[in-house]
A = this chain, B = another copy of it.
Amino acid sequence: MTYAAPLADIKFVLENVAGLGKVTALPVFAEASPDLVESILEEAAKIAADTLAPLNRIGDTDGARMVDGKVQVSPGWQEAWNVLVDGGWNGLPFSPEHGGMGLPNVLNTAVHEMWQAANMAFTLCPMLTQGAVNAVESYGTAEQKALYLPKMVTGEWTGTMNLTEPGAGSDLAAIRTKAVPEGDHYRISGSKIFITYGDHEMVENIIHLVLARLPDAPAGVKGISLFIVPKFLVNADGSLGARNDAVCASLEHKLGIHGSPTAVMAFGEKDGAIGTLVGEANRGLEYMFTMMNHARQAVGLQGLAIAERAYQQALYYARERVQGKPTGWTGSGPTGIVNHPDVRRMLMTMKCQIEAMRGLIYSAAAHVDIAHNHDDAAERARAQLLADLYTPLVKGWSTELGNVIASLGVQVHGGMGYVEETGAAQHFRDARITTIYEGTTAIQANDLVLRKTLRDGGQGIRVLLADVAATADAAAGLAIGAKLKAAINTAIACTDWLVGAAKEDPRLPAGAAVPFLELMGIVVGAQMMAKAALAAQGATDGFLAAKLITADFYADHVLSKVDGLGQSIQAGSKAIMALDEALL
């Protein structure tokens, strides 16, 4: 079973849920005509199906490895990368000033959904390269931009994020990598782990963005600076110079995404790797968050993508596989297990949450476009507020769902799902990283609760919930509308509880954070389902009528979890730390 991009769903969500029209109406996106959007989506879908999806299993069974000190990617990877470079795909969302297409972030998101679904291990490479371009474009000096951006935008060079160290995972304050000034550059030394596409031979140069400390830097996160450390030094004329002292020491042996080389990087084992400072000293974490916010939305997108891939595979199998006569089946002749009520329940559970995630993720991406490009400052601020709140939901909620849905995909296959050749297990393994990298679900939840709810006393969350309530009011005539109203009240009660509980004991909101993130994900997901249902209102058959049914299903089977989560948060948070640690 290969992958076919769900273009009808993608276009429907772009137009009716995420508000693509509002984005393409921005002057900066004047060239993003409906025809261009259509042809980009169609072409990206072809690349997904024809180029990337066929390599997904090869990446799993014949993954990246070290050969004679070099990182060798899977067969076909190089050719696939060339397809992206030749088509200029990597530059889709970037300014024409640096060789990009200047198209909306939300359109890039739709393109990457297809590629992540087709081949997640491969698409990590363009994903991280785009994140690196964002950081250099936002904070690099004119010289850095001139030197690095043109080839990064085309994808002739790729980019990486170097944050994690053995002693510094979720706690970036513990970073120890050093940067010592030397003339106009710095000498970087230290060890970084979990560096995705940290090394490979698909391109002639790799541009590492590295967090490190200056000798006089203050302790903690306020003493971290961001550096550009290229694999090969780049001369002023753009030609390549000497090999830098930045090497891949080894690759991790992972549960999944075998096609993606996860490197242990050794900087400065000899004389120190040569790097240049990005922006100002000691503001590295702030800059890195530019990449992180992009990467978090992109990893949330992986949650959606792997879910869609798992769903397609499960649906295909469920139609083909015949096992007995389904309960209540009145059709003639044998039929697939797709008509067994519990298999259908699993497929509907997958499908409705995929639709909710797509609505949320594309909306978040569209809000980034508006926040960056709208003429009106108030509009920009409002879009930024919502994008900031969406980001942890996109990352935290969608990746948790991606795991649940990939596991349901295995379950639909029964025993065959446990056999590796079937492919369902690969999605299950690949998905498992998404709740971990670019910040675990707890990190996302802390971002949502501690940073984005408690700091403003819940004001921002209330703006978001008012936006949800407006949709619920508009959908009052639909089943999901009324249920959404009740769920919003629970969300408001939980927000108030969080703000109050923080004054009593800071551990209470921290313990409640992940359940609150799930609750908010479900509620905002319901808003997206309600928007889709509103766009489909009155339809009696076909694609549009299906949106009404998946919204109903979501209301009964997903939104129904909100009350229990509300209880966990408000009544249950005290029990979290109640047990003496020694008695665990």
Which residues of A are in contact with B by a Cβ distance under 8 Å? 164, 168-171, 173-174, 193-194, 252-256, 315, 319, 323-324, 326-328, 338-345, 347-348, 351, 403, 407, 410-411, 414-415, 417-421, 425, 428-429, 432-433, 435-437, 440-442, 445-446, 450, 505-508, 510-511, 513-514, 541-543, 545-546, 549-550, 552-553, 556-557, 560-565, 567-568, 571-572, 575-581, 583-584
Contacts and interface: CB of A to CB of B under 8 A. Distances in A.
Most B CB atoms within 10 A — which of A255, A315, A541?
A255
Nearest to A338: B581
A344 B549 contact: no
A334 to B, nearest CB: 10
Given A255-B418, A347-B584, A561-B561, 7 more contacts: A342-B510, A342-B511, A410-B436, A418-B433, A549-B579, A556-B568, A563-B564
B341 A511 contact: yes
Contact of A419 (B253, B556, B580): B253
Contacts of A324: 170-171, 173-174
Contacts of A552: 575, 578
Contact of A425 (B255, B546, B580): B255
B505 A328 contact: yes
A17 to B, nearest CB: 18
Identify the 8 closest CB pairs spanning chains A and B, nearest first. A556-B572, A328-B507, A341-B511, A171-B324, A342-B442, A341-B510, A327-B510, A560-B567
**Number of this chain's copies in the complex:** 2
Most B CB atoms within 10 A — which of A326, A450, A506, A581?
A581
A193 B416 CA distance: 10
- Main secondary structure, interface of A, reads helix
Contacts of A583: 542-543, 545-546
A510 B171 contact: no
A323 B174 contact: yes
B560 A572 contact: yes
Contacts of A446: 327, 342
A255 B340 contact: no
A420 B253 contact: yes
A442 B507 CA distance: 39
Given A417-B436, A552-B578, A323 B510 contact: no
Contact of A564 (B173, B194, B564): B564
Given A429-B255, A576-B345, A415 B442 contact: no
Contacts of A255: 410, 418-420, 425, 428-429
A410 B399 CA distance: 14
